[in-house]
Amino acid sequence: QVQLVQSGADVKKPGASVKVSCKASGYPFSDHYLYWVRQAPGQGLECMGMIKPKTGSTAYSQKFQGRLTLTRDTSTNTLYMDLSSLTSDDTAVYYCARNTFSGFDFWGQGTLVTVSS
Amino acid sequence: QSALTQPRSVSGSPGQSVTISCTGTSSDVGGYNLVSWYQQRPGKGPKLMIYDVTERPSGVPDHFSGSKSGNTASLTISGLQADDEADYYCSSYAGRDIYVFGTGTKVTVL
């Protein structure tokens, strides 16, 4: 069955960077685009960006341009989200999600990133 | 890429119908038939309920339905059940491989 398993919670200081991983299994890794979506406490969902597993090509939401880097490792079917220059506003649960153009059909369990001094 | 606008909350009694609106622009909701809806229970991740405006994934109850007119999409829950109480988010393709989500609606079953 399709699974997206993310790395565990992390705590970072303001100005630092965080790297979250998401391991995909149960389907051909190259067949679907993968997205990162975040949710601040008590807030809504926010699309951050996308990676095409086959080529490594990426697209980023304007809000995160210059601060977000998405990569993937096709040997382990794992994608990575690297967010730099963290502030308290980046405290959120970060999800990876599989996209079928029609919608996001499978989601990771979420990773809580807390930014605090 | 502004968030799509949803009502903060809607409520209804068991058996009633409720409709959640999702208003965007011609650059997102109005420009593509790629609107989807997600249910999120407290402490859990989102679950796909509707895709391509009107389609239901396998396993989603048929009392959930979707529609769209112009720049506004809607999710209707007919025959409201206690188990439907959750937050609901719409999403639309917005071009250049980016999606935009709605502000979210809390559904309360009275």
Question: B68-84, pLDDT tens digit by residue?
Answer: 999 999 999 999 999 99
Q: What's the mean pLDDT in A58-82?
A: 96
Query: Tokens for B28?
Result: 């997102």
DSSP reduced 3-state for A79: strand
Residues of A in contact with B47 (CB under 8 A): 107
pLDDT tens sequence for chain B (110 residues): 799 999 999 999 999 999 999 999 999 999 999 999 999 999 999 999 999 999 999 999 999 999 999 999 999 999 999 999 999 999 999 999 999 999 999 999 99
CA B104 – CA B99 distance, rounded (Å): 15
Strand pairing category for B9-12 and B105-109: parallel
Per-residue pLDDT band at A103 (split at 50, 70, 90): very high
Cβ atoms of B17 and B79 within 8 Å: the answer is yes
CA A17 – CA A54 distance, rounded (Å): 26
DSSP reduced 3-state for B61: coil
The answer to whether the CB atoms of B45 and A107 lie below 8 A apart is yes
> What is residue B1's predicted lDDT score, i.e. its pLDDT?
75
Interface residue of A57, A68, A102 to substitute, partner B, most B CBs within 10 Å: A102
List B residues 51-90 in contact with A (Cβ-Cβ < 8 A).
51-52, 55, 57, 89
Residues with Cβ within 8 Å of B98's Cβ and at least 6 positions away in sequence, in order, are A47, A49, A50, A59, A60, A61, B1
The answer to whether the CB atoms of B36 and A102 lie below 8 A apart is yes
Query: Tokens for B10?
Result: 């809607």
Q: Within 13 Å of residue B50, how many CA atoms lie on the same side as its CB? A: 26
> What is residue B33's predicted lDDT score, i.e. its pLDDT?
96
Average pLDDT, chain A: 96
